[in-house]
Amino acid sequence: MASPIRHADCFHDFPEDIVRTILEEAASDTNEPAWACARVLRKVQGWTEPIMYRHIRVEHTSARAVLLARTVNSYPAKPATFFATSVKSLYIDVWDDSEPTAIFSILGACPNIVGLHLSTLYLGKSFLVGNHSVWKGFSKLEKLRIAPNMFSPYHFTFLSGPLENPMFAFITHLELPWNYRLRGLSWKLPSFSSLQALTHMCILSCDSGGDIISMFVQVRSWVPHIPTQLMIYTTRIRVRY
């Protein structure tokens, strides 16, 4: 008589808390995402998915954003609040503008993020800060990278009141790309001093020649309004040849 087949679970002799710790550590490896962990058992999925979705990156094409938006909006195995409670940072770097609705579907599902990196083309007037409701939901942001072309003309302010830009309320790290044509618009500089939590600031420029000189002239006018607690200010320049 053949001996019974041993259970395929290689952890079957371990206590559940140790198994969970091992799998959670595997899921935490940002260099080698362990997506297979979520396909072992429903219980394991519940342990590991909140970790694997903690920091989300969407890069290169909006097709990737469409796939993620589909998961965000219609994945029955996850509770309705999964992305709102699990996702802590979003890194979106998409340089085609064919699916802005998908990008904002993702943003809207993750209102409690503390970090946002958003690099896109101009997505249209209705998606600007001040015009789209999603921007009012980010009340816990601490680190933000966003281009000035994402702000409507009446929201070039750092004030964080409910009628201005609530997402600035707790910002500690802010990066503003400078290589965008702002159609004569400029920040309301006195409002810069209202960023009471800001400790790190970076201005990024990809332009060259006169544009860089113009940038330095304008940035110099910010000096009287620098928040008193700002510790580090940097200017990053990518020279085009």
2: in domain: no
The residue range of the domain holding 19 is: 10-52
Number of H helices, E strands in the chain: 6, 7
Q: Are the C-beta atoms of 53 and 87 separated by less than 8 Å?
A: yes
Q: Do 144 and 233 reside in the same domain of the chain?
A: yes
Q: Do 194 and 215 reside in the same domain of the chain?
A: yes
pLDDT at 149: 84
198: in domain: yes
Q: Do 27 and 137 reside in the same domain of the chain?
A: no
149: in domain: yes
Q: Do 115 and 188 reside in the same domain of the chain?
A: yes
Q: Do 22 and 127 reside in the same domain of the chain?
A: no
**118 pairs with which residues across the strands?**
92, 146
Q: Do 134 and 27 reside in the same domain of the chain?
A: no
Lowest-confidence segment of 96-110, 121-135, 173-187 by average pLDDT: 173-187
pLDDT at 3: 43
Cα–Cα nearest to 65, from 32, 85, 46, 90: 90
Identify which of 31-35, 128-132, 174-178 has the greatest average pLDDT: 128-132
pLDDT at 37: 62
Report pLDDT digits (tens) over 188-211: 889 999 999 999 999 887 655 556
Cα–Cα nearest to 84, from 126, 150, 119, 134: 134
Identify which of 41-50, 53-62, 100-109, 191-200 has the greatest average pLDDT: 191-200
- CATH number, domain of 136, equals 3.80.10
Quote the number of domains for the chain.
2
Is 241 a residue whose pLDDT tops 70?
no
Q: Do 15 and 124 reside in the same domain of the chain?
A: no
4: in domain: no
Q: Do 194 and 179 reside in the same domain of the chain?
A: yes
178: in domain: yes
Report pLDDT digits (tens) over 74-123: 777 778 888 999 999 999 988 776 678 888 999 999 999 999 999 887 77
213: in domain: yes
**93 pairs with which residues across the strands?**
59, 119
List Cα–Cα distances, 19 to 7, 23, 49, 77, in angstroms.
Answer: 15, 6, 15, 22
Q: Do 46 and 147 reside in the same domain of the chain?
A: no
Rounded to the nearest integer, the mean pLDDT of the chain is 81
**Integer-rounded Cα radius of gyration of the chain:** 22
Greater confidence, 227 or 22?
Answer: 227
68: in domain: yes
Q: Do 93 and 14 reside in the same domain of the chain?
A: no
Q: How confident is the model at residue 166 (pLDDT cuts 50, 70, 90)?
A: very high
Q: What's 148's DSSP letter?
A: G
Q: Do 36 and 80 reside in the same domain of the chain?
A: no
Is 135 a residue whose pLDDT tops 90?
yes
pLDDT at 23: 67
Lowest-confidence segment of 15-24, 100-109, 113-122, 168-177 by average pLDDT: 15-24
pTM, two decimal places: 0.81
Q: Do 161 and 69 reside in the same domain of the chain?
A: yes
List Cα–Cα distances, 125 to 130, 139, 206, 231, in angstroms.
Answer: 10, 22, 24, 35
CA distance 165 to 88: 20
Q: How confident is the model at residue 159 (pLDDT cuts 50, 70, 90)?
A: very high
